[in-house]
Structure 1
Amino acid sequence: LDERDLITRRRQKWWQDSSAVRLTPQATFQDLDFPPG
């Protein structure tokens, strides 16, 4: 994998995690690998 693929996978993982956060209000952004932005 090149660096771009890794970034894409990480971004996809973040979107999955952020969706889970929206579905579970008790979760916080601290549970994510890195903050949005």
Structure 2
Amino acid sequence: MNDEVRPCPQCGRFMFKEQGEEVSWFCPSCNVKFRTK
């Protein structure tokens, strides 16, 4: 598994890593962003 993609905790489908000032993850299925520290 590549580190740009991980399963969404809500739906289990793929979320994609977004690089910004903080790393966040976007799940297109849920249309939700998650932040990671």
Task: Name the TM tier (shorter chain).
Answer: under 0.3
Structure (1/2) with the larger strand percentage: 2
Larger radius of gyration: 1
* TM, length-normalised to structure 2: 0.25
* TM, length-normalised to structure 1: 0.25
